[in-house]
């Protein structure tokens, strides 16, 4: 007979605030990560602190925010009103405590839940808060959420405002490091949404005069735009939009109360609907929605009272209302575009003409591709049923929450042995595998037609679900997993070319990565160390002493599933594929995939030299 588990008062346990946050950090900051992804936890910690500074600026207090990041220590200083001195400790260590609950103090705030800085405090090995106001100051320091020291209120001549210093807990955020490129992107979004605000990062100042217009200016190549950026502003809404000459899919940057909603939401859906409605009415033509929105690059920002998000990390807006006594989010945005965008097009007939030509061209291309797309979809559907190219993960089941889907990863690999090892060692809940057959086609300079005609590209596009943009992207992280030799690097280059040519927003939004795998295994009878560089190999030999066994991995297929699980689990190392703002996509593609040039040959030789030197070493045993 099966033994019944006891369930009494002794089984009931109450966790205090910091224990709950540390036990379930994902509930408060989403995924953890090591800093290789822009939505990793260490950046959410910084964002939670910055949100409070931004709210001060929005309320008219403090025009400068100073951020210093040195190794793993973060310092943030604003010049706002400062936390009321008698509540400095409570605000960062007591749940449901904060000024955001008083709508008189914070009207259209981001941080409404009173959790933000408490999560930072609980998940940091060091957390120091200092408040300056009314010529007085008070400081409190914590470790893992536990109060270590609290100074009495003292007189001070320091400028008013709040200073927060924290060091993320390395036992929770393993092997982490801050990538300043991601921090800069976050900062830029803040200054675009708050013209007049200056943010200083490690001595470099960021400032915007033209809001969302500056955002699109920075994120696009001006020579690639069909017409100058349209910039429209209302009381609680701001919009910027244009169309690209070469980009195929739609690109949206959406914000609510200064929060970057990377997963969109009701406001982004309303913008897409409003754009189609306005264009149809302006031209008096019932154009296809996809033709209107094809190649659009846009940004929309709204401010609402007490926004409701679909997750703690506030990446998707769920609110349907702007606020009490105000219209719905949908009608507010649709009506704004119907009036303001329509007026703009009437006043700027040359831009209106260019937009119409773009729509007609998109319609023509769609009709030319319609037959091919239909066959390609049928082929992709059939292929997904009858072959094992895609080994999917369970995260896409209907009962899975959105936060869980943000953890989803697709490994793109080549060869049966490598894909087999990853498949056997992966986390079947969140990790999927797409297996390439040989080297993919060089798609440089080709039209979108090739995506449907080429089986590999068609099936990859179907697996990612990105034919019509990133709205329904099935995997948050797309990881190229190839050998670190000449052939493997060529495959990486061909895949990056494919994404740059047809889906650049995947790279712009930080979804594409290269998987790092160890070059060496150094072990003795007691310990095994995997090394990702020559330096790490030397350090491992010194640590183990004696004559440890050294194995050089020449390819992913040589790594057994039992070992592979260590490289794609908690300690996974990913290198993000990033675009340098100073270099356009056309320039990148021309350099890497255009005609052979001496510059490119020298670049490849220089960058492969280290790998080739390592590959030629004779493994010791």
Query: Model confidence over 159-190: pLDDT tens digits?
Result: 999 999 999 999 999 889 999 999 999 999 99
The rounded distance, in Å, linking the Cα atoms of 2 and 527 is 41
Residues 471 and 592 in one domain: yes
pLDDT at 379: 73
- Mean pLDDT is highest, among 29-33, 108-112, 394-398, 407-411, for 407-411
| Of 170, 186, 206, the domain-final residue | 206
Confirm whether 21 is domain-assigned.
Answer: yes
- Here the CATH number for the domain that contains residue 570 is 3.40.50.670
Residues 158 and 116 in one domain: yes
Mean pLDDT of the chain: 84
pLDDT at 621: 37
Give yes or no for a contact between 65 and 77, defined as CB atoms under 8 angstroms apart: yes
Mean pLDDT, residues 425-451 taken together: 88
In this structure, how many other beta carbons lie within 10 angstroms of the beta carbon of residue 320? 13
pLDDT at 595: 66
Which pLDDT band holds residue 604 (cuts at 50, 70, 90)? low
Model confidence pTM above 0.85: no
% residues pLDDT > 70 (the chain)? 83
DSSP lists the bridge partners of residue 70 as 73
Is a pLDDT exceeding 50 seen at residue 7?
Answer: no
pLDDT at 164: 97
Residues 78 and 194 in one domain: yes
Confirm whether 132 is domain-assigned.
Answer: yes
pLDDT at 137: 96
Strand-strand pairing, 230-233 and 259-260: unpaired
Residues 431 and 349 in one domain: no
Burial of 118 (0-12, 13-18, 19+ CB in 10 A): buried
Which pLDDT band holds residue 243 (cuts at 50, 70, 90)? very high
Is a pLDDT exceeding 90 seen at residue 207?
Answer: yes
Number of domains in the chain: 3
Mean pLDDT, residues 382-410 taken together: 69
Is a pLDDT exceeding 80 seen at residue 614?
Answer: no
Confirm whether 5 is domain-assigned.
Answer: no
Residues 306 and 238 in one domain: yes
Give yes or no for a contact between 68 and 75, defined as CB atoms under 8 angstroms apart: yes
Residues 185 and 83 in one domain: yes
- Here the CATH number for the domain that contains residue 228 is 3.30.230.10
Confirm whether 504 is domain-assigned.
Answer: yes
Residues 414 and 343 in one domain: no
pLDDT at 483: 83
In 3-state terms the chain splits into helix, strand, coil percentages (rounded to 5) of 40, 20, 40
pLDDT at 78: 96
Q: Give CA separation, 304 vs 40, 295, 327, 342, in Å.
A: 26, 29, 11, 24
In this structure, how many other beta carbons lie within 10 angstroms of the beta carbon of residue 143? 16
Confirm whether 474 is domain-assigned.
Answer: yes
Is a pLDDT exceeding 70 seen at residue 343?
Answer: yes
Residues 146 and 290 in one domain: no
Tell me which residue of 601, 604, 510, 521 sits closest to 39, measured CA to CA.
510
% residues pLDDT > 90 (the chain)? 44
Which pLDDT band holds residue 83 (cuts at 50, 70, 90)? very high
Confirm whether 2 is domain-assigned.
Answer: no
Is a pLDDT exceeding 60 seen at residue 105?
Answer: no
Question: Per-residue pLDDT tens for 500-548?
Answer: 888 888 888 889 999 988 889 999 989 999 888 889 999 999 999 888 9
pLDDT at 605: 55
Question: Per-residue pLDDT tens for 574-597?
Answer: 888 887 655 566 667 776 676 656
Look at 103-117, 206-220, 294-308, 384-398 and tell me which has the smallest mean pLDDT: 103-117
In this predicted model, which residue has the larger pLDDT, 421 or 226? 226
Residues 93 and 229 in one domain: no
Is a pLDDT exceeding 50 seen at residue 613?
Answer: no
pLDDT at 522: 93
Domain of residue 283 covers 212-367
Token couple for 81 = 């009103």
Give the relative orientation of helices 266-283 and 349-386 as an angle to the nearest 10 degrees. 130
Tell me which residue of 218, 180, 225, 224 sits closest to 202, measured CA to CA.
180
| Of 206, 236, 263, the domain-final residue | 206
pLDDT at 104: 41
Which pLDDT band holds residue 102 (cuts at 50, 70, 90)? very low
Confirm whether 7 is domain-assigned.
Answer: no
Strand intervals (E) in 487-589: 512-516, 520-523, 528-531, 549-552, 573-576
The rounded distance, in Å, linking the Cα atoms of 56 and 379 is 55
pLDDT at 404: 54
Confirm whether 619 is domain-assigned.
Answer: no
CA-based torsion, 247, 249, 255, 259: positive or negative = negative
Is a pLDDT exceeding 80 seen at residue 100?
Answer: no
Residues 191 and 45 in one domain: yes
The rounded distance, in Å, linking the Cα atoms of 95 and 114 is 6
Mean pLDDT, residues 602-608 taken together: 56
Question: Per-residue pLDDT tens for 245-270?
Answer: 888 888 899 998 888 888 888 899 99
Mean pLDDT, residues 264-283 taken together: 94
Mean pLDDT, residues 359-371 taken together: 89
pLDDT at 603: 60
Token couple for 304 = 């609402």
Is a pLDDT exceeding 60 seen at residue 610?
Answer: no
pLDDT at 108: 55
Torsion of CA 599, 601, 606, 611, to 10 degrees: 150
pLDDT at 115: 67
The rounded distance, in Å, linking the Cα atoms of 621 and 619 is 7
Residues 189 and 124 in one domain: yes
Mean pLDDT, residues 288-311 taken together: 88
Residues 476 and 450 in one domain: yes
- Here the CATH number for the domain that contains residue 133 is 3.30.565.10
Is a pLDDT exceeding 70 seen at residue 8?
Answer: no
Is a pLDDT exceeding 70 seen at residue 461?
Answer: yes
Is a pLDDT exceeding 80 seen at residue 9?
Answer: no
Is a pLDDT exceeding 70 seen at residue 492?
Answer: yes
Is a pLDDT exceeding 90 seen at residue 395?
Answer: no
Look at 198-202, 273-277, 509-513 and tell me which has the smallest mean pLDDT: 509-513
With a CB cutoff of 8 Å and minimum separation 6, the contacts of 151 are 138, 139, 140
Mean pLDDT, residues 490-509 taken together: 87
Is a pLDDT exceeding 70 seen at residue 460?
Answer: yes
| Of 206, 230, 257, the domain-final residue | 206
């Amino acid at each position: 007979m099966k033994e019944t588990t006891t369930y009494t008062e002794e089984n009931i346990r109450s966790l205090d605030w910091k224990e709950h946050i540390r036990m379930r950090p994902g509930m408060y900051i989403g995924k953890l990560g090591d800093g290789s992804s822009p939505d990793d936890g260490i950046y959410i910690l910084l964002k939670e602190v910055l949100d409070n500074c931004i709210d001060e600026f929005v309320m008219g207090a403090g025009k400068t925010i100073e951020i210093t990041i040195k190794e793993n220590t973060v310092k943030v200083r604003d010049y706002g009103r400062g936390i009321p001195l008698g509540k400095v400790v409570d605000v960062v260590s007591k749940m449901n405590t904060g000024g955001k609950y008083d709508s008189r103090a914070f009207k259209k705030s981001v941080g409404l839940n009173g959790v933000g800085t408490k999560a930072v405090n609980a998940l940091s090995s060091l957390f120091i808060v200092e408040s300056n106001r009314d010529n007085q100051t008070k400081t409190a320091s914590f470790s893992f959420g536990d109060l270590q020291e609290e100074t009495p209120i003292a007189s001070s001549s320091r400028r008013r405002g709040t200073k927060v210093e924290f060091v993320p807990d390395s036992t929770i955020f393993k092997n982490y490091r801050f990538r300043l490129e991601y921090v800069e992107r976050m900062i830029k979004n803040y200054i675009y949404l708050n013209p007049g605000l200056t943010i200083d990062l490690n001595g470099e100042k960021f400032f915007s005069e033209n809001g969302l217009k500056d955002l699109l200016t920075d994120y696009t190549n001006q020579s690639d735009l069909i017409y100058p950026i349209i910039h429209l502003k209302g009381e609680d809404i701001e919009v910027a939009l244009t169309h690209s000459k070469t980009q195929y899919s739609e690109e949206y940057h959406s914000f609510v109360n200064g929060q970057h909603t990377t997963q969109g939401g009701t406001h982004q859906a309303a913008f897409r609907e409003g754009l189609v409605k306005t264009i149809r009415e302006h031209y008096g033509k019932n154009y296809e929605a996809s033709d209107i929105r094809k190649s659009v690059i846009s940004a929309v920002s709204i401010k609402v009272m007490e926004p409701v998000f679909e997750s703690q990390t506030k990446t998707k807006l769920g609110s349907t209302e702007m606020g009490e006594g105000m219209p719905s989010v949908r009608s507010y945005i649709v009506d704004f575009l119907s009036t303001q965008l329509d007026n703009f097009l009437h006043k700027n007939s040359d831009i209106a003409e260019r937009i119409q030509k773009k729509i007609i061209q998109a319609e023509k291309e769609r009709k030319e591709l319609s037959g091919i797309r239909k066959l390609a979809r049928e082929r992709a559907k059939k292929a997904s049923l009858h072959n094992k190219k895609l080994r999917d993960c369970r995260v896409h089941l209907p009962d899975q929450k959105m936060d869980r889907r943000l953890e989803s990863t697709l490994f793109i690999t080549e060869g049966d042995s490598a894909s087999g090892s990853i498949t056997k060692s992966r986390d079947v809940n969140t990790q999927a595998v797409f297996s390439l057959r040989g080297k993919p086609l060089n798609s440089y300079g080709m039209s979108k037609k090739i995506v449907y005609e080429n089986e590999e590209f068609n099936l990859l596009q179907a697996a990612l679900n990105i034919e019509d943009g990133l709205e329904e992207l099935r995997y948050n992280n797309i990881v190229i997993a190839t050998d670190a030799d000449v052939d493997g690097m060529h495959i990486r280059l061909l895949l990056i070319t494919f994404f740059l040519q047809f889906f650049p927003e995947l790279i712009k939004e930080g979804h594409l990565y290269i998987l790092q795998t160890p070059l060496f295994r150094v072990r003795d009878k007691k310990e095994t160390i995997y090394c990702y560089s020559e330096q790490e190999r030397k350090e491992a030999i010194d640590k183990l002493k004696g004559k440890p066994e050294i194995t050089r991995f020449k390819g992913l297929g040589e790594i057994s599933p039992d070992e592979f699980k260590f490289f794609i689990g908690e300690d996974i190392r990913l290198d993000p594929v990033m675009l340098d703002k100073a270099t356009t996509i056309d320039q990148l593609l021309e350099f890497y995939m255009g005609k052979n040039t001496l510059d490119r040959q020298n670049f490849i030789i220089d960058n492969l030299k280290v790998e080739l030197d390592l590959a030629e070493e004779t493994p010791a045993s």
